[in-house]
Amino acid sequence: MIDSPKSYPIALTLPPRKYSYWKPSQNFPDTLLYLSWGKRLFGKNPIPTTKHQGWAYMIVTSGKSILHIKEDKIPVNTYDFLVIPPNVPYGISANSSKCETEQFCWIWKNPPHQLPAASTENQWFHSSINPHHIPIIERLHIETRRQLESFDDQTIHALKGIRLGLDVEWIRTYSKKKEPTVSEMRFNQAVAWMQDHLEETRPIECLQDYLQISSTTLKRLFLSRTKQSPQNYFQDIKFKKAYEMLASSEHPSVKYVAITLGYKHMNDFTRAFQKHFSISPSSLTKSNTPH
């Protein structure tokens, strides 16, 4: 005789009252079904294995727990990102009653805006989020709570935007592309800004303001990657551009190049160029003049 598959009820197990959570009132639009945040003791207060009415999103920011998917037990660790559809029964426990977990949770009525490649709505998902993206998740959760506290005729639209942002962060956990560090992103942003502002006469002050960092941090950022100060690096980019312009087949005048790169007086540019390359800018224009 073949045993029939175990059936699981559809239920939402609420945590003890001392923990933080939200569930909709009877008149709330059928969009968000549940919200929770903060610390949990899943060893002491486990969630029994049941089906749910919506799509559960759980992002663990600290601690460990055990995810029960039907009869399977899956370890869950810090920075894990779980997405579980309503047709997949799940529960949560822990190895010890003192094992503390901190996480953000949403349960949404509707499916995600997008699924990872080669997946279906009938499977659950377990990935890891970049720790640098946890503040993004936190802001999305805080904004969700703010919208719920000040509900008006725009709240549903705002929740849709939050859900879209959450889905983007989730899909990105499946990207195989190595994400740059905060320091790498800042450096790349700094170099891109320099290349777009070669005419700037106070580049370092402007760059500090653009990146919202101190002069010490900016200097350390460039020294660690280029062995140059940001000012010297900027001058290198500026004069390389000047050299390219003067040596090009378009034959721009020295005065035109000087003005383009932020010099009010051509003589100042000529002296700086000659100091940088040990040749005069006019020698490049002469060598490119057709005979």
pLDDT digits (tens, 9 = 90+) for 195-211: 999 999 999 999 999 99
Phi, psi of 269 (to 5 degrees): -65, -45
Residue 3 DSSP SS3: coil
Asked if the model's pLDDT at residue 169 lies above 90, the reply is yes
Per residue in 85-123, pLDDT tens?
999 999 999 999 889 999 999 999 999 998 887 778 789
Position 147 confidence tier, pLDDT thresholds 50, 70, 90: very high
Q: What is the pLDDT of residue 116?
A: 86
Do 136 and 226 fall within a single domain? Answer: no
d(C-alpha 215, C-alpha 226), whole Å: 16
**One domain, residues 200 and 80:** no
Same domain as 245, residue 144: no
The enclosing domain of 216 has a CATH number of: 1.10.10.60
**Does the pLDDT of residue 2 top 70, yes or no?**
no
Please check the confidence at residue 6 and state whether its pLDDT lies above 90: no
Residue 273 and residue 159 share a domain: no
Residue 227 domain boundaries: 182-287
Looking at the fold, whether 151 and 202 belong to one and the same domain comes out as no
Same domain, 42 and 140: yes
Query: What are the angstrom distances between the C-alpha of 155 and each of 33, 136, 137, 278?
Result: 14, 20, 19, 64
User: What is the CATH number for 162?
Assistant: 2.60.120.280
H-state helical runs in the chain: 134-149, 155-172, 182-196, 203-211, 215-226, 230-247, 254-260, 266-277, 281-287
Amino acid at 240: K
Residues 89 and 70: beta-carbon distance below 8 Å:
yes
pLDDT at residue 288 in the model: 56
Say whether both 266 and 241 belong to one domain: yes
CA 113, 114, 115 angle in degrees (round to 5)? Answer: 140
The answer to whether residue 80 sits within a structural domain is yes
Assigned domain for 90 exists:
yes
Residue type at position 55: W
Same domain, 276 and 217: yes
Other C-beta atoms closer than 10 Å to the C-beta of 137 total 20
Pairing of strands 55-62, 80-84: antiparallel
The total of structural domains in the chain comes to 2
Helix-strand-coil percent breakdown of the chain, rounded to 5? Answer: 40, 20, 40
> pLDDT digits over 232-259, tens only?
999 999 999 999 998 887 778 899 999 9
> Do 205 and 98 fall within a single domain?
no
The answer to the question of residue 60 being in a domain is: yes
Kind plus residue range of the DSSP H or E element containing 249: none
Confidence band for 290, pLDDT divided at 50, 70 and 90: very low
Last residue of a domain, one of 172, 197, 227: 172
Same domain, 252 and 144: no
The pLDDT > 70 percentage for the chain reads 95
Among 143, 172, 201, the domain-final residue is 172
What three-state secondary structure class fits 49? strand
- Can you give the pLDDT at residue 289? 52
